[in-house]
Structure 1
Amino acid sequence: MQHAQQREGNTPPSLSSPFSLPNGRVLKNRMFKSAMSEQLGDRQHNPTEGVATLYARWAKGGVGLSMTGNVMIDRTALGEPNNIVLDDQSDLAMFEQWALSGKAEGSQLWMQLNHPGKQIPSFLCEVPVAPSAMSLGEGLEKGFNKPRALSEKEILDLIRKFARSAELAKRAGFDGVQIHAAHGYLVNQFLSSRHNQRGDQWGGTLENRMRFVLSVYQAIREKVGKDFPIGIKLNSADFMKGGFSEEESMEVVKALAGAGIDLIEVSGGTYESPSMVGHNVKESTLKREAYFLDYIEKVREMVETPLVLTGGFRSAAAMSSALASKATDFVGLARTMAVDPDFPNKLMSNEHYKQELRPLTTGHSGLDRIAMLDIVWYEFQLARMARGLMPKPNLSEWGVFFRTLVSAGISSFRKRRA
């Protein structure tokens, strides 16, 4: 296959090298915009015009493949107040505009599909659902209500909803979909023995715990056909005692590769242990930039499925090194593109280019965590680009903190009135 030949050639790929997926779809370069939550849905949870503006800007910046922020498959289960939802109640015309804008300049746009499970702020949902009735830990139980366990009928219904959303994404013109199975959301909860303590066919052994994600993939494949790309974002590990381990993750990778998944994005961590944004990462790893490189090198030995490595990349040199090692086929970028939408073009035109991101803090780590500052600060940058403005690297952390509190209060009020 061509993608295998590209890795085995004598000339190492560059950031600008094209890549053919197993199904023949060609991506123009190796720059992959990883999912970030835009929080740009309207009151009916359709995409706003600003979402189309944002993704057109990223396409202009040179990215080969953009992944949307997490689009929810169930409008009764929102991870954030302004999430976008794709179901039979959605205005498909708004999604068509989004897809068209994101595919400018020869870029591709895939939709990330997600269900938050119990990772729903308490002001949005009194009783969320999860594989088991277990609260989040590490102090997060104060902001997230204890869930109830899903019934088997509800599990099967959620699988159908994932498939229906994928079918609608294809109809709207998106180039592919990605299942969000990382960062502690519902699919990740099923995979984790820490959060999934069921005694039926959906829990217990790893074979049973991975049944949900494999069923979601198979249901989507039946709806979209064999030529429509389906990817997955998977944790290398949860980095929590009793959670989804590296060894288990590799077994899931092999199962997904055997089932025919088109693209695997490697990340790691959860809200409880947010390694995906650099928390609790070793100093030696930070210097190398790629947080999960050791893991993906092991995965590369096991499967031929195209891989994306996301987390920590800042310089063209480190990205080129990761590609040259043949451990990964794509470089995943997120926060760097929230600060500079032209980052891909700059990287591809200057092999010495590097972007530094300043540490974000109000000076009080507890407040930073309550406000999820490492996430919402970047959401404010996305909102600026959605209005046609450039990002503001010196944006005040305290300003973001207070505006987040006000927004949460308004959203809570609307929820009570709904």
Structure 2
Amino acid sequence: MNIAENKILSLSSPLTLPCGAVLNNRLLKSAMSEQLGDKHHNPVPGLQTLYSTWADGGQAVNVTGNIMVDRGALGEPGNVVLDEDSDLEAFKRWTQAGTRGQTHLWPQLNHPGKQAPGFLYPEPVAPSAIPLEGEVSVNFNPPRALLEEEIWQIIERFATSARLAKECGFTGVQIHGAHGYLVNQFLSPRHNQRQDQWGGSLENRMRFVREVYAAIRRQVGDLFPVAIKLNSADFMDREFGEDDCIQVIKTLADDGIDLVEISGGNYEKMAFLQETASSERTARREAFFIEFAENLRQVCKVPLVVTGGFRSARGMLEALHDDATDMIGLGRSLVIDPAFARKVINNVHHGIHLQRRSTGFRKLDTLTMIDVQWYQQQIIRLSRGLPSKPEMSEWTALLKMCWSLGGRAFQRTRA
């Protein structure tokens, strides 16, 4: 196939979502942690600078880093929270900057569940009182099981945040249902061992995410994009696996979800941070979760985003041509080059090389999640109106992290 001559496969082709919203092209900036909330968990002015830069970058949609639905359940000190106590004018200034040029700006709405760091919460909540395992367990306290009344309260918090997002000028919302956070915890048979209507069968385990979606839809109406990020699999024993994921996506598609972003893993098994693909075929095609996406497409035609691994225009166009996905999710490439989307749209030969960041000490890398922290320092530069600095050493990034977090520097961050 001569991609350059195939006009149908343009990355600039618009996409109409089930709700009727039109996205200007096939590129989406996936959520990345910014940690740019002030002491009251309102957005700092740097988020306006950051997202105006990305609005000029060329992608149709920018999804924010986690915006928490409950200020009593944070994933890190610098989280932004959107609730009735938020400074809505600060959010409106953010959305005004981030939606220029008809760019969509969607908040990623999240509740951490048990993935709330121990230095923040002595007793986090979860579907069941099951602690995290492995290396991450030292950073998170064992949770207590949610009462049913609390479950309904959290569902309403998601809906309230979505309503306020629309009022503040966001053009859609994304539910974070991946990476081991609360929605994913309810879906997982490993982490959800409840014996009531919220646990047991897949039908019961997906009840929480369906109720979250339904509550959001009631608040924002039928014409407002509501998307979700889901794990294709958790990659653990007794996992939420691919067959379960396909059934959940089919159900949410029937319910009316507008867009599904595919990822995988959690803090116990961090597939979402991998830099190497799981098979030779996947590596050749760049994207980490492309094979799952192809299997999903056989049974469900919901608009789909595949994120992770894409580095070249040709790799993106191949995925679209094979009907493996409707949109391409980008992350770190937009940190290093905020204009990357526009460049791959205009040049089929354009690409970028990203290396895995390391101090050279594996245990230190794992403890500090240096590969995440390095990119976060680049995001902070962008928020200050500075260009990214690819030559920044991992040690410099580590020192900056320690300076900003002090004694919390070696607690895990989120993604």
TM-score category by the smaller chain? over 0.9
| Correspondence for 1:184 among 176, 180, 187 | 180
Q: CA deviation at 1:204?
A: 1.0
| 2:313 matches 1:316 | yes
SS across alignment from 2:9 = coil
Q: Distance in 2 between matches of 1:260 and 1:314?
A: 31
**Secondary structure, counterpart of 1:264 in structure 2:** strand
Q: Using the alignment, how far apart are the partners of 1:21 and 1:248 within structure 2?
A: 24
Q: Does 1:240 align with 2:207?
A: no
- Aligned residues of 1:273 and 1:279 also touching (Cα < 8 A): no
Q: Deviations over 1:11-59 (max 9, x none)?
A: 6331111111122211111110000111111110000110011000011
Which of residues 254, 257, 264 in structure 1 aligns to 2:260? 264
1:73-88 paired onto structure 2 within 5 Å: 73-88=69-84
Question: Is 1:379 paired with 2:337?
Answer: no
Whole-Å separation in 2 of the counterparts to 1:115 and 1:386: 25
Per-residue CA distance 1:252-291 (angstroms, 9 max, x = gap): 0011001000111111111111111216742512332110
Q: Does 1:230 align with 2:220?
A: no
1:408 CA displacement: 3.3
Q: What does residue 61 of structure 1 align with?
A: 57
Secondary structure, in 3 states, of the residue corresponding to 1:338? helix
Scaled by the length of structure 2, the TM-score of the pair is: 0.94
Q: Hey, what's the Cα distance between the residues in 2 that align with 1:326 and 1:283?
A: 20
Kindly, what percent of the aligned residue pairs are identical?
53
Give the C-alpha shift of residue 190 in structure 1.
Answer: 0.6
Task: Tell me which residue corresponds to 2:354.
Answer: 357
Q: Is the 8 A contact 2:198 2:204 kept in 1?
A: yes
Aligned alpha-carbon RMSD (Å)? 1.4
**395-404 vs 168-177, which deviates more?**
395-404
Residue of structure 2 in register with 1:197 after alignment: 193
Distance between the aligned counterparts of 1:265 and 1:55, measured in 2? 20
**Within the alignment, does 1:107 sit opposite 2:107 as a pair?**
no
| Residue in structure 1 matched with residue 396 of structure 2 by the alignment | 399
- Show the counterpart of 1:174: 170
Question: CA, structure 1 residues 123+405, in 2 after alignment: closer, same or farther (shift >3 Å)?
Answer: farther
In 2, are the aligned partners of 1:336 and 1:355 still within 8 Å (CA)? yes
Query: Which residue identity does 1:204 align to in structure 2?
Result: G
Does residue 28 of the first structure (1) align with residue 24 of the second (2)? yes
User: Which 5+ residue runs of structure 1 have no aligned equivalent?
Assistant: 1-9, 413-418
Instruction: Write out aligned runs for 1:271-310 (5 A).
Output: 271-278=267-274, 281-284=277-280, 285-310=282-307
Amino acid at match of 1:373: I
Superposition pairs for residues 81-160 of structure 1, below 5 Å? 81-160=77-156
List structure 1 segments (4+ residues) > 4 angstroms apart after TM superposition.
none
Indicate if the aligned counterparts of 2:37 and 2:44 stay in contact, CA closer than 8 A.
Answer: yes
Match 2:45 to one of 42, 49, 65: 49
Counterpart Cα distance in 2 of 1:348 and 1:174: 25
Contact 1:202–1:208 under 8 Å retained in 2? yes
Q: Is the 8 A contact 2:175 2:228 kept in 1?
A: yes
Counterpart of 2:333 in structure 1 is 336
CA distance in 2, matches of 1:107, 1:245: 34
Contact 1:266–1:310, Cα closer than 8 Å, also in 2: yes
Correspondence 1:326 to 2:353: no
Cα separation, 1, equivalents of 2:235 and 2:313: 28
Partner secondary structure for residue 154 of structure 2: helix
Distance in 2, Cα, partners of 1:39 & 1:157: 25
Separation in 2 of the partners of 1:93 and 1:270? Answer: 34
CA deviation after TM superposition for structure 1 residue 149, in Å: 0.8
How much does 1:411 deviate?
5.7
Distance 2:147 2:217 in 1: 24
- 1:290 counterpart letter in structure 2: A
Inter-partner Cα distance in structure 1 for 2:286 and 2:262: 14
Give the whole-Å Cα distance in 2 for the aligned partners of 1:211 and 1:361.
Answer: 40
| 2: CA distance, partners of 1:47 / 1:131 | 30
Q: CA–CA distance in 1 between the matches of 2:191 and 2:212?
A: 19
Q: What amino acid maps onto 1:302 in structure 2?
A: V
| Structure-2 separation of matches of 1:251 and 1:407 | 43
CA contact (8 A) 1:31 1:344 kept: yes
The offset of 1:342, in angstroms, is: 0.6
How far the C-alpha of 1:95 sits from its partner, in A, is: 0.7
Shift of 1:326: 1.5
Report the counterpart of residue 416 of structure 1 in structure 2.
none
* Shift in Å, 1:106: 2.0
